[in-house]
């Protein structure tokens, strides 16, 4: 899952980034409101964690402008403002949840999981195809009934492909899913993940569409 964190406190931002990446999220971090509006207009994210007290453009304005631009991504407001009026203003501007600083990182993770469940419906349906079974709730993967151990990024990649069987994903789209803007990666990193998935599952499950990208074949 790709998360956009919009937070100008360097220590808090670094702590959130480290914790969520350890959880398997792909996280991008911005520190001002104007950059956030641009990113939310131009790129796709699964979740947004938004501070209110931002430079250049405050969080409420970011949220209002982004919703007006058609943003449907779940947004969790993260702020030190604890007044009822502030919470109401954030929710009325289009926030889906509200967490007051200081907070426990475990609660933030739980709230993000809840937002994902809400977005995906009352329950996350097990994904199946080509002998693969993937349970989003437990992150358990089996192939022909046998458990398969995947790294967090292999899991993310398989989840995206299995959720959209037959769809061709460009290399850039998949790299954006797996890595944040500030993560230095080798040019063949995606190909290594594809190779490992083919080895752990079946060689012909993930097809290379020359000059375009990859797709999952699920007969």
Inter-residue contact 40 to 191 (CB < 8 Å)? no
Strand partners, 214: 169, 208
Own/partner pairs for 204-210, CB < 8 Å, 24+ apart? 205/130, 205/132, 206/161, 209/168
List the single range of 18-32, 44-58, 84-98, 123-137 with lowest mean pLDDT.
Answer: 123-137
Write down the pLDDT at residue 194: 93
Residue 203 scores a pLDDT above 60: yes
Q: What is the mean pLDDT of the chain?
A: 88
Domain boundary among 120, 136, 164: 120
Mean pLDDT, rounded, for 37-52: 93
Q: What is the pLDDT of residues 85-120, one digit of tens each?
A: 878 888 899 999 999 989 999 999 999 988 987 876
Tell me, yes or no, whether 95 and 152 share the same domain.
no
Write down the pLDDT at residue 15: 95
* 213 token code pair: 């990208």
Q: Which residues contact 42 (CB under 8 A, 6 or more apart)?
A: none
CA 55 to CA 34: how far, in whole Å? 8
CA 171 to CA 22: how far, in whole Å? 24
Residue 153 scores a pLDDT above 90: no
Mean pLDDT, rounded, for 143-156: 91
127-151 burial string, b = 16+ CB within 10 Å, else e?
bebbebbbebeeeebebeeeebebe
Tell me, yes or no, whether 147 and 51 share the same domain.
no
Count of domains for the chain: 2
Write down the pLDDT at residue 119: 75
Q: pTM (2 decimals)?
A: 0.73
Domain CATH code at residue 200: 1.10.10.10
Percent of residues, the chain, with pLDDT higher than 70: 95
Please tell me which residue, 186 or 42, carries the higher pLDDT value: 42
Write down the pLDDT at residue 23: 81
Give the domain range for residue 171. 127-216
Domain CATH code at residue 27: 3.40.50.2300
pLDDT band at 39 (very low <50, low <70, confident <90, very high): very high
Tell me, yes or no, whether 13 and 96 share the same domain.
yes
């Amino acid at each position: 899952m790709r998360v956009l964190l919009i937070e100008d406190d360097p220590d808090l931002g670094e702590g959130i980034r480290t914790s969520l990446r350890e959880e398997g999220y792909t996280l991008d971090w911005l520190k001002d409101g104007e950059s956030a509006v641009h990113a939310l207009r131009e790129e796709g994210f699964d979740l947004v964690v938004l501070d209110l007290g931002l430079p250049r453009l405050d969080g409420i304005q970011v949220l209002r402008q982004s919703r007006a631009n058609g943003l449907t991504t779940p947004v969790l407001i993260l702020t030190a403002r604890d007044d009822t009026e502030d919470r109401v203003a954030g929710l009325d501007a289009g926030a889906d949840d509200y967490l007051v600083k200081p907070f426990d990182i475990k609660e933030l993770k739980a709230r993000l999981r809840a937002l994902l469940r809400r977005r995906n419906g009352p329950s996350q349906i097990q994904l199946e195809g080509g002998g693969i079974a993937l349970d989003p709730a437990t992150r358990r993967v089996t192939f022909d009934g046998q458990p398969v151990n995947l790294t967090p990024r292999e899991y993310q990649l398989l989840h995206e492909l299995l959720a959209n069987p037959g769809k061709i994903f460009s290399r850039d789209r998949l790299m954006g899913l797996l890595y944040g803007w500030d993560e230095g990666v080798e040019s063949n990193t995606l190909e290594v993940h594809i190779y490992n998935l083919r080895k752990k599952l079946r060689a012909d499950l993930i097809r290379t569409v020359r000059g375009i990208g990859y797709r999952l074949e699920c007969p």
